[in-house]
C-alpha cells in the first residue's frame, strides 16, 4: 500500500473531505529531486481502513486541502515550514513551527496575530514561559474586560526535528525515538509505529505480544486519565482531589514499573512484538491492584459530583460546538465529549482489541464536565479491558524477528492513545526508515480549544486548557 502519486485521485479525496464524506487523518510532505510530494491520509465514512494518496509538488507547489477543509490548515503551514512545500490557495500562510531561528528559516518577519477589533478590546500575551512547570506555548488573548474575544495559540517552541532524526536510521533506533515524541503517550506512539512497520513488512505479531501491548496501552491511558482528572480539579482550585488522584496515578505507574520495568513503559513495545513479558507474579499484582484503584477512584468521582463549588466551575465551561468538533476531526475525550462517536479500538480494530467488546462513552454537552466524565468512563472501561486482557493472556513468544526486505515497502496504522487516535506512517527499505510520519491528536485539539474558549472568561482558560490537555511537543515534529 505504498502511497502512489495520483493527482486525479487527490482531487477526488479532497472533494470527499470538503463534502464531509471522509475524515481528515494527516498530511505530511517529503522532498525529492523534482521538488517533492505531499501525502494525504483520510478515513472514508464507514470504512475500516485509511487511504493514503499523494500529490506531486513540482516547483514545490501543490493545491491546498486546507482551502476546502479547515483541519488541514495547521499541517499545511507546518509542511511549508519543514519541507518548504507551498500549498496554493492556503487561507493562512503564516509560519507555524518556524520561528525564524532555523538555518533554512523562511519566517523572517514578525508573526501577525489575527486582529480582534472593537471598543475596549485589548490583548494579553501569555507564555511561552509560564509561571508553572508546563510545556512552552504562547497564547494571545484578545479580551474585552474578562471576556475572551479571540484566542490564538502559537506553538513550535519544542521543535526537535524528530522525524529528520528517524529518517535513514535503523528501525529499532527509530522505534526508540518515536517513543520520545510525547512522553505521556510513549506506549501509544511506539504501538502505532510498530504496527505501521509490521504492516509494511507483512509481519504478524505473536498473540501474546499483542495482548501485552494492549495491557501497556490501557495502563498508560489509566495513568494519564487519572492524572488529568486530578489536574482539572486542581485548576479549579480544588486540590484535594488532585492529591488523591495523584496517589492513584502513582499506584498505576508503580504497577507498570513492577510489571514492565519502567513507570511509563518506555521502549517496551518494538516493531515485531514487545521486549518485556508478564510473569505470573506481575499478572497477580495487576489483577489485585487495578480493581482496588478503581474502588478508591469511585469515591473520588463521588466527591467530584457532590462538590457544588467544583461543579459550578466545570459545568458549561469551555463548550465546544459538536459540529465544529466533527469538522475539525477531534478525537479522544474532546471529540467524544462533543458527540463524536469514534474510537480506533472499536471502529478500526487492531489486535488485541479485535477480540474485545470496547465500550465507548459519548456525551454531547461538550463542556469541561463532559470531558471529565468521558475520562471517568474511560478509566472504568480501561480497568475492565485490562482484566479481560489479563484473562486472555495467550501463550506464545513475545517477539517475531523482522524479515529483511530489500524492496521499498510502506505501512500505516491508527492507534487510540489517551488523547485520541495517533496515526503513524512509515516507509522502510532494507531495515532502514526511508520516510516516516506520526500525527498526534493534538493537531486537531488546538484549533478546537481556540474555538471553545471564545466567550469564556480569561480566568477559566487554564481549566479549559487542562480539560483539552493537548500536547505541545506532539505536534512539533
- Which residues form the interface with other proteins (CB under 8 A)? 123-126, 130-133, 145-146, 233, 235-240, 243-244, 247, 307, 309-310, 312-313, 457-462
Question: Which residues does 396 contact at the CB level (< 8 Å), separation at least 6?
Answer: 206, 207, 208, 209
Question: β-pairing, 432-439 with 421-429?
Answer: antiparallel
Residue 244 C-beta: closest distance to other proteins, Å: 7
Contact 413, 438 (CB under 8 A): no
247 vs 387 by CB, closer to other proteins:
247
Residue 467 C-beta: closest distance to other proteins, Å: 13
10 vs 139 by CB, closer to other proteins:
139
Residue 74 C-beta: closest distance to other proteins, Å: 23
Residue 325 C-beta: closest distance to other proteins, Å: 24
238 vs 437 by CB, closer to other proteins:
238
38 vs 148 by CB, closer to other proteins:
148
295 vs 406 by CB, closer to other proteins:
295
237 vs 403 by CB, closer to other proteins:
237
Residue 317 C-beta: closest distance to other proteins, Å: 8
Given the C-alpha cell 490537555, which residue does it identify? Answer: 469
Contact 34, 60 (CB under 8 A): no
Q: Which residues pair with 428 in a beta bridge?
A: 409, 433
2 vs 124 by CB, closer to other proteins:
124
Residue 112 C-beta: closest distance to other proteins, Å: 19
Contact 471, 184 (CB under 8 A): yes
Write out the three cell numbers for 205.
Answer: 505479531
Residue 418 C-beta: closest distance to other proteins, Å: 22
Answer positive or negative: Cα dihedral of 196, 197, 201, 202.
negative
Write out the three cell numbers for 219.
Answer: 495502563
Give the containing element (helix H, strand E) for 195.
Answer: helix 186-201
Residue 266 C-beta: closest distance to other proteins, Å: 27
Question: Which residues does 235 contact at the CB level (< 8 Å), separation at least 6?
Answer: 462, 463, 466
Given the C-alpha cell 459550578, which residue does it identify? Answer: 312
Q: What are phi and psi of 87, to 5 degrees?
A: -90, 120
Residue 242 C-beta: closest distance to other proteins, Å: 8
* Residues 342-348: contacts with CB under 8 Å, at least 24 apart: 342/23, 342/421, 343/416, 344/414, 344/415, 344/416, 344/421, 345/416, 347/48, 348/43, 348/48, 348/49, 348/50, 348/414
186 vs 465 by CB, closer to other proteins:
465
64 vs 317 by CB, closer to other proteins:
317
Q: What is the DSSP letter of 402?
A: P
Cα separation of the two ends of the chain: 24
41 vs 233 by CB, closer to other proteins:
233
**CA-based nearest residue to 368, from 444, 419, 302, 317:** 317
35 vs 316 by CB, closer to other proteins:
316
What CA–CA distance (Å, rounded) separates 279 from 260? 10
Residue 237 C-beta: closest distance to other proteins, Å: 3
The rounded Cα 210 to chain-centroid distance in angstroms is 21
Residue 119 burial by Cβ neighbours in a 10 Å radius (0-12, 13-18, 19+): exposed
Residue 138 C-beta: closest distance to other proteins, Å: 13
Amino acid at each position: 500500500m505504498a502511497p502512489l502519486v495520483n493527482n486525479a485521485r487527490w482531487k477526488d479525496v479532497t472533494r470527499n473531505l470538503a463534502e464531509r464524506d471522509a475524515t481528515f487523518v494527516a498530511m505530511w510532505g517529503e522532498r525529492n529531486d523534482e521538488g517533492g510530494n505531499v501525502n494525504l491520509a483520510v478515513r472514508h465514512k464507514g470504512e475500516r481502513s485509511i487511504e493514503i494518496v499523494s500529490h506531486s509538488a513540482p516547483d514545490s507547489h501543490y493545491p491546498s486541502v486546507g482551502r476546502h477543509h479547515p483541519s488541514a490548515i495547521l499541517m499545511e503551514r507546518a509542511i511549508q515550514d519543514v519541507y518548504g512545500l507551498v500549498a496554493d490557495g492556503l487561507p493562512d500562510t503564516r509560519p507555524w513551527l518556524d520561528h525564524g531561528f532555523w538555518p533554512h528559516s523562511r519566517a523572517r518577519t514578525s508573526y501577525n496575530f489575527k486582529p480582534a477589533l472593537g471598543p475596549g478590546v485589548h490583548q494579553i500575551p501569555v507564555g511561552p514561559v509560564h509561571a508553572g512547570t508546563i510545556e512552552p506555548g504562547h497564547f494571545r488573548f484578545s479580551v474585552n474586560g474578562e471576556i475572551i474575544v479571540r484566542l490564538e495559540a502559537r506553538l513550535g517552541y519544542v521543535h526537535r526535528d524528530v522525524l529528520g532524526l528517524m529518517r535513514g536510521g535503523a528501525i529499532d533506533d527509530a522505534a526508540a525515538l518515536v517513543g520520545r515524541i510525547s512522553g505521556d503517550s510513549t506506549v501509544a506512539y511506539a504501538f502505532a509505529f510498530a504496527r505501521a512497520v509490521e504492516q509494511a513488512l507483512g509481519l504478524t505479531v505473536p498473540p501474546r505480544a499483542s495482548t501485552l501491548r494492549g495491557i501497556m496501552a490501557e495502563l498508560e491511558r489509566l495513568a494519564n486519565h487519572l492524572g488529568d482528572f486530578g489536574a482539572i480539579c486542581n485548576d479549579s482550585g480544588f486540590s484535594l482531589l488532585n492529591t488523591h488522584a495523584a496517589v492513584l496515578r502513582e499506584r498505576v505507574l508503580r504497577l507498570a514499573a513492577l510489571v514492565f520495568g519502567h513507570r511509563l513503559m518506555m521502549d517496551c513495545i518494538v516493531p515485531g512484538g514487545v521486549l518485556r513479558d508478564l510473569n505470573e507474579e506481575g499478572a497477580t499484582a495487576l489483577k489485585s491492584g487495578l480493581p482496588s484503584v478503581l474502588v478508591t477512584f469511585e469515591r473520588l468521582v463521588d466527591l467530584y459530583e457532590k462538590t457544588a463549588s467544583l461543579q459550578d466551575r466545570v459545568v458549561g465551561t469551555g463548550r465546544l460546538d459538536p459540529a465544529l468538533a466533527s469538522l475539525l476531526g477531534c478525537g479522544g475525550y474532546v471529540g467524544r465529549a462533543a458527540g463524536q462517536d469514534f474510537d480506533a479500538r472499536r471502529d478500526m480494530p487492531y489486535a488485541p482489541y479485535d477480540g474485545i467488546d470496547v465500550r465507548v462513552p459519548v456525551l454531547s454537552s461538550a463542556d469541561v464536565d463532559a470531558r471529565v466524565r468521558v475520562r471517568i468512563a474511560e478509566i472504568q472501561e480501561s480497568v475492565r479491558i485490562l482484566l479481560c486482557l489479563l484473562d486472555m493472556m495467550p501463550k506464545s513468544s513475545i517477539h517475531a524477528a523482522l524479515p529483511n526486505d530489500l524492496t521499498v515497502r510502506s505501512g500505516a496504522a491508527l492507534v487510540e492513545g489517551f488523547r485520541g487516535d495517533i496515526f503513524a506512517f512509515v516507509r522502510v527499505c532494507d531495515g532502514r526508515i526511508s520516510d516516516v510520519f506520526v500525527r498526534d491528536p493534538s493537531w486537531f485539539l488546538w484549533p478546537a480549544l481556540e474555538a471553545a474558549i471564545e466567550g469564556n472568561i480569561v480566568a477559566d482558560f487554564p481549566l479549559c486548557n487542562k480539560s483539552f490537555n493537548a500536547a505541545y511537543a506532539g505536534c512539533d515534529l
